[in-house]
Amino acid sequence: MLGGVPRGKVRYDNLTSAVARVLGFTRARVETDRWTAFRSWAGLEVFYCAPGIDGAHEKGGVEGEVGRFRRNHLVPVPDVTSLAELNAQIDVWDRQDDQRRIGERPRTVGEYFAIEKSLLQPLPEDHFETGCRRTACSGPGKIFVARDHHRDAA
């Protein structure tokens, strides 16, 4: 979606897909295995926001933007027949959002992104499968491919 990988530290809250456990009231986290694999593949340098009220100011306007998107596009729930249709609709909303101006700022969201896009690192050449993990293992006379929690004989 961004067409590249951010340079430097990327701020994260305690998203459950990445954080298995917050270690006390510190920035230390036990990450999920899948998140560790993804951020290693992408070359992301993560910075976890402080938990609780102490870290509320560290996320900038992200929480507000998530709420704005949800209120404007996901409430009520979109009437779609497939994930592909929902993704296509989200693409339309993203293109429309490129024309949006935040407050009295001199540029649109799309104009600011065009400036920042040149600062992104290139995406890795190999593909990272975010939706399915495959692990090859052998059994008596067969090879199995484990996909998430399912095993298929190959």
Domain ranges of the chain: 1-60, 63-123, 130-154
Give the mean pLDDT of the chain.
Answer: 84
What is the pTM (predicted TM-score) of this model? 0.66
Would you place residue 60 in the very low, low, confident or very high pLDDT band (cuts 50, 70, 90)? confident
Q: Which of 135, 124, 11 is nearest to 61 (CA)?
A: 11
- Is residue 150 pLDDT above 50, yes or no? no
Q: Are 69 and 75 in contact (CB under 8 A)?
A: no
What is the mean pLDDT of the segment spanning 137-146?
Answer: 58
Each residue of 32-66: b (16+ CB within 10 Å) or e?
A: beebeebbeeeebebebbebeeebeeeeeeeeeee
Confidence at residue 144, expressed as pLDDT on a 0 to 100 scale: 53
Higher-confidence position of 26 and 98: 98
Higher-confidence position of 40 and 55: 40
Cα–Cα distance between 127 and 30 in angstroms, integer? Answer: 25
Cα–Cα distance between 24 and 47 in angstroms, integer? Answer: 16
